[in-house]
A and B are shown apart, each in its own frame.
Chain A
Amino acid sequence: MSKELYLKELERCLRHLPAEDRQAAIDYYRDYIDDAIANGDGDESEVIAKLGSAEELSAGIITDVAISSLSSEESSSTQDDTGRTDKKVKSKHNAATTIWIVILAIFASPVALPVAITLLVLMMVPIIVVASVLFAFFVCMISIIPSSLVLLLSGISILSSQTGNAIVLIGNGLTSLGLSGFIMLFIVWLARAVARAFKAIGRWIVGIVSKKREKV
């Protein structure tokens, strides 16, 4: 197989990866093949045979991108408290991309299709459950904030005529505003816990997948 054909094939196998990761891998292996030939390792087809098929090579690349995507997000979240400037450099992929790459890694691996689907479900269930809970809390917030504002405003409007009732209304309004603040904090806390849990699950799954690949 010629170098160009091999790299085309590799590009096709990596087509679902983020463009930057795909291009970096192709550039590296283009260099690698040229250098192997220049160093007398054989002609194009011999050097390519040593690298293995484009599918095998791409499966390894995808798994490694998944691992680094899961770990780079972790380092960015630990740096959250200290320095925000580092964050953008370190976290290369957002959460959705990470989920996507982990799914790719599962399907690029040599595990059987039923196993792949099971792993996928394992990963998706917590995400869906938690997304629903977060959504429910979000809806609560949306309903609480306007109603507490109405309480506050009506309290203020009758402050001079019915001072007693007005204070009760204002008190209730402030209480529910405070409550929604707590819910907000809870949502943030929950979202962070979920992100950590997802990364742990993702690393576990990718670990299984990459072990499986090494054995083959």
Chain B
Amino acid sequence: MVYQLGSGLLDACVLSGVSHGDAYGYTLTQQVRNVVDISESTLYPVLRRLQKDGYLTTYDEAIAGRNRRYYRLTDSGKVKLDEAVRDWESFSSSVDALLMGGNNNE
């Protein structure tokens, strides 16, 4: 595929993945990898930045004799995600109109 995720859109995809609950680094990475070609290590800095900016928090849960780190959306993370979804809706419909709308100038 010729299209890539910019960092804003990648942030939004990660926030959305986290909003569905029980999210940890590996599953989030695979969710995004199903859509675009990112490397296995792409999400680590993204998650860390979103956490530092206060959009995500983490909690540990015991799984099969070890602790797995889960991510959870904070209130400001929810606001950020809503904003990103609205922006995407208007952006994607503009691109749709441009790419598929044909000649509307008449």
Contacts and interface: CB of A to CB of B under 8 A. Distances in A.
Contacts of A61: 41, 44-45
B48 A35 contact: no
A105 to B, nearest CB: 12
A50 B40 contact: yes
Interface string A4-24: 000000000000000000001
A64 interface: yes
Chain A interface mostly helix, strand, loop or mixed?
helix
A32 interface: yes
Contacts of A27: 69
A52 interface: yes
B53 to A, nearest CB: 8
Nearest to B42: A60
Contact of A29 (B30, B44, B52): B44
B41 A31 contact: no
A32 B45 contact: no
Interface in B44-73: 44-45, 47-49, 52, 64, 66, 68-69
B41 A52 contact: yes
Interface string A105-117: 0000000000000
A30 B26 CA distance: 11
Q: How large is the interface on B (under 10, 10 to 19, 20 to 34, 35 or more residues)?
A: 10 to 19
Contacts of B68: 31, 34-35
A38 interface: yes
A161 interface: no
B25 A38 contact: no
Contacts of A28: 25, 44, 47-48, 69
Contacts of B27: 35, 39
A167 interface: no
Nearest to A39: B26
Contacts of A90: 52
Contact of B26 (A25, A32, A60, A72): A32
Interface in B1-55: 24-27, 29-30, 39-41, 44-45, 47-49, 52
Interface centre among B41, B48, B49, B64, by most chain A C-beta atoms within 10 angstroms, is: B41
Contacts of A31: 24-26, 68-69
11 contacts: A25-B44, A28-B44, A31-B24, A34-B66, A34-B68, A51-B40, A60-B41, A61-B45, A64-B48, A67-B45, A68-B45
Interface of A: 24-25, 27-29, 31-32, 34-36, 38-39, 50-52, 57, 60-61, 64, 67-68, 72, 90, 92
